[in-house]
Amino acid sequence: MTILEQGGGPAPQAPSDLIKETTTQTFVKDVIEESKHQPVLIDFWAEWCGPCRQIGPALEEIATDLQGKVKIAKVNVDENPQIAAQYGIRSIPTLLLFKNGERVDQKVGAAPKGDLSRWIGAQTA
């Protein structure tokens, strides 16, 4: 029996079409327009942010668990400060949820996967 057959293999990766790095140039298409078809969660993060690195894998798992009911757009605040400024981001990680082209909710700070999953699930139901 192989490791994969025993269930000890790597965790499944979220399909790349569910998680996308977005930039100032692609934000309207990736978030505003896409949220008119399905909810889009924006993850404001930075490379140096420890809590951001903690929730990143949880968000990938949640995107996979929800099987396409939500897309995740990641915004590196160091590379795209205009987007962070436009939405008043003062602390990271910050998560914004968009539906129908509008921001409908936000969550600031790191949280365990279960809490994030419940929050996202309630917003996308």
Q: Which residues are catalytic?
A: 49, 52
Q: Pseudo-torsion of CA 88, 94, 99, 103, nearest 10°? A: -20
**Residue 19 parent element (H or E):** strand 19-21
Strands in 102-108's sheet, in edge-to-edge order, are: 19-21, 71-76, 40-45, 94-99, 102-108
